[in-house]
Chains A and B, each alone.
Chain A
Amino acid sequence: MIENWAPSDMPICCAVGCAREVGAQLVSLGVNRYILAYDDEGSLRRKVPKMAYTVKGETGDWEVVVGLEVHAQISSQSKLFSGASARFGAEPNENVSLVDAAMPGMLPVLNAECVKQGVRTGLALNSKVNKRSVFARKNYFYADLPQGYQISQYEEPIIGEGEIEIDLEGGETKNIGIERLHLEQDAGKSLHDQSPTKSFIDLNRSGVALMEIVSKPDMRSPDEAAAYVSKLRSILRYIGSCDGNMAEGSMRADVNVSVRKPGEPFGTRAELKNINSIRFVRQAVEIEAKRQIKLIEGGGTVDQETRLFDPNKGETRSMRSKEDAHDYRYFPDPDLLPLELNDAYIEDCKATLPELPDAKKHRFIDDYGLSPYDASVLVAERETAHFYEKAAKASGDPKAAANWISVELFGRLNKSGVALVDSPISAEQIGALIGLIKDGTISGKIAKDVFDEMFQSSKDPGAIVEEKGLKQITDTGAIEAIVDTLIAENQKQVAAYRDGKTGLLGWFVGQVMKQTQGKANPGVVNQLLRSKLDT
């Protein structure tokens, strides 16, 4: 089924981008010049000069410039200006009031929750809240827009400039500027494949509240664009202003891409509409940049236009069919007075914000000694961060807890397609397992077997160790007996070792482990073997 979230030949949301002259205000904010590399312990090991992302063309290297407009559906019960349900997935035209269907005489009344979520989101994006904003009509003609205009905000949006931090490979970060956030109505949905000559219109989405979040053109690679969308999604989900479900369309991105030779002014950009996954954002930037470079190097010029990204064909295509499509004739909506907010209201909104991903990340780094990379993985989802903190506290070893969760648990969850909320292993159990390693009850190697069993049965690690007799042998006498026998039975290896083939120590350790089913304390085994072999 072909579904159009927005009209295909009359984009509903590019006017803001069009109004913002490209190149007028490039703000490069605190870009790191180095990739910081960390070792397993999370300590800073080296600084590697950062390689800027470039695309090789026939005439040299090209830089990619990306800005994003993200549409995020506000998590509200009812629509922005009507009392119809904003729920996804109802029967066609079920969630439609006469306001949404634009019947004559119907008037919009603003939903308080949508204002609150807009302000909370603005604050979470470290952006300026405008105490006065104005709803404007953006006029265009399309079948799934019964009013003939979308109520949006134009010159005076509810949220102004700010910036957020994005997480890149190797724990590197970069600040990306936010241009604005405004409130607007979603359009209806057109189905084009029900009939060869007709389009079917469902107005359930018509009037649902959206936040359009516009970034500055601060991103320079496909990865940065993807990291920006990830971080935005993470923030929205933390504060609960949007569920961030890209597959259902509650969050989708318009990606503006242009290319230039490093140091030159911005090139002409093309806008890729309605991209609905983070992976596709990355692909779309890559493919569109290559197209533009080939075009320019072949003597052509990039048109400022709207394009469609086709992930199946791996290409972008022009969507423009009417030249006058962009004449939106904005004017203030006479049905709505200006939206006025006071300091007390903004403070109240601020007080409802939870600890945000970046604050949490920095706290995890400072308090738990995690590497920036581990911290950014663990804070991406609020539930994960919560799970981690429980495990860290129960274990008394936050770094070990981070490893067990991000490597062992996530690995198994991903493999079996289970979400963290349904994890068969609880945070407390991970804490208990780490406790067993720390107090010498089991070795790290045995712990992995115990973890597998925990993942299968959800049993406590202590019970599994007890049941299967996995307790580490720390009784030096027992281990010594095994070591003595081993040395007596393998004189050839002993001689080779004493002749300088000290690498054979590993073989001896392995033999002891084999005989004890891995339960011998590796420290004790090493120590005993050394003392006996080296004399």
Chain B
Amino acid sequence: MSLSKDDVKKVAHLARIHVAEDRLDGLAGELNQIIGWVEQLSEVDTDGVEPMTSAIAHDLRWREDAVTDGAQPDKVLANGPATELGFYVVPKVVE
């Protein structure tokens, strides 16, 4: 598997990371190296081995259904670049 310059451009856009046009080739090269490195794992014979989802042998933790959080709009909004009337304010997202 290898990434093209266009793939990198698309992935960057999906993640909303700005990458300058002249850096795309270099980044594609670096990412391909990483992919190649990880792909070495495919050499290992994993037939009959259950996929491991976590390093800890533990059940998923559940919590009781109770309201224990919230009622702190000031804290929630504190890091918003723009807020108004208790809302986050962002650039218009529909035409």
| Chain B residues in 8 Å Cβ range of A202 | 86-87
Chain A residue nearest in CB terms to B56: A337
Task: Give Cα A7–Cα B90 distance, bound, in whole angstroms.
Answer: 14
Q: What interface size band does chain B fall in? A: 35 or more
Within A87-129, the residues touching B (CB, 8 Å) are 91-99, 101, 103, 109-115
Q: Is B48 an interface residue (CB 8 A)?
A: no
Interface string of B3-18 (1 = CB under 8 A from A): 0000000100111100
Per-position binary interface string of chain A over residues 9-23, scored 1 when its CB falls under 8 Å from any chain B CB and 0 otherwise? 100000000000000
- The interface on chain A, measured as residues whose beta carbon lies within 8 A of the other chain's beta carbons, has a size of 60
A336 within 8 A of partner (CB):
yes
**Inter-chain contact A340/B76, CB cutoff 8 Å:** no
Q: Is the CB of B65 within 8 A of A114?
A: yes
With A7-B93, A85-B67, A192-B93 in contact, is A91–B62 under 8 Å at CB?
A: no
Please tell me if the beta carbons of B87 and A200 are within 8 angstroms of each other in the complex: yes
Q: Let me know if A77 and B66 touch, CB within 8 A.
A: yes
Least distance between A1 CB and chain B CB atoms (Å): 12
Partner of B92, one of A78, A96, A112, A199: A199
Q: Are B88 and A112 in contact (CB under 8 A)?
A: no
The residues in B between 22 and 42 inclusive whose CB is less than 8 angstroms from any CB of A are none
A/B pair count, beta carbons within 8 Å? 145
State the Cβ distance, B31 to closest chain A Cβ, in Å: 15
Give bound CA distance, A198 to B91, whole Å.
5
In residues 52-89 of chain B, which contact A (Cβ within 8 Å)?
A: 53-54, 56, 58-73, 75-77, 79, 82, 84-89
Rounded to whole angstroms, the CA-CA distance of A146 and B75 in the bound complex is 15
A198 touches B92 (CB 8 A): yes
21 A-B residue pairs with CB within 8 Å: A83-B63, A83-B66, A83-B69, A92-B87, A96-B76, A97-B70, A109-B63, A110-B61, A110-B62, A113-B65, A191-B87, A198-B82, A199-B93, A200-B89, A201-B87, A201-B90, A203-B76, A327-B14, A329-B14, A337-B60, A340-B59
Binding site for A on B (CB under 8 A): 10, 13-16, 53-54, 56, 58-73, 75-77, 79, 82, 84-95
Q: Which 6 A-B pairs have the closest CB atoms?
A: A113-B65, A83-B68, A84-B70, A97-B69, A83-B69, A200-B87
